[in-house]
Amino acid sequence: AIQLTQFPSSLSASVGDRVTITCRASQGISSALAWYQQKPGKAPKLLIYDASSLESGVPSRFSGSGSGTDFTLTISSLQPEDFATYYCQQFNNYPYTFGQGTKLEIK
């Protein structure tokens, strides 16, 4: 199975900061990568698909980049509602796999 490693595992930041989360795949997955946001007690929400495409309704401060094995999620200016856990997910091969998550906390 393809392993996805996210870093950092946790991150403290302030409102207005620019933050970047990285996801590294154990083998190439082309652009078959998605990013999800999950808040406590809630279902995940799709933010980015195909590595860099913004899901409809998601604010433009979220962006994704990368291909092959290295990917990033960037939030250009953190808002209070962005504090959550973020997961990357590959859908290039079965079994579909997720990264371990990055918890974004308020500094």
Partner 1 sequence: EVQLLESGGGLVQPGGSLRLSCAASGFTFSSYAMSWVRQAPGKGLVWVSIISNRGGITFYADSVKGRFTISRDNSKNTLYLQMNSLRAEDTAVYYCAKDDYGVKGRGLFDYWGQGTLVTVSS
Binding site for partner 1 (CB under 8 A): 1, 32, 34, 36, 38, 42-46, 49, 55, 87, 89, 91, 94-101
Name the minimum Å distance from CB 11 to partner 1.
16
Give me the sign of the Cα torsion angle 2, 26, 63, 66: negative
CB of 43 to partner 1, least distance (A): 4
Distance CA 71, CA 36 (A): 13
Nearer residue to partner 1 within complex by CB, 17 or 55: 55
Q: How far is the CB of 81 from partner 1 (least distance, A)?
A: 18
Place of tokens 């809630």: 42
- C-beta of 59 vs 77, nearer to partner 1: 59
Q: Which amino acid is residue 88, in one-letter code?
A: C
Whole-angstrom Cα distance, residue 107 to residue 87?
A: 20
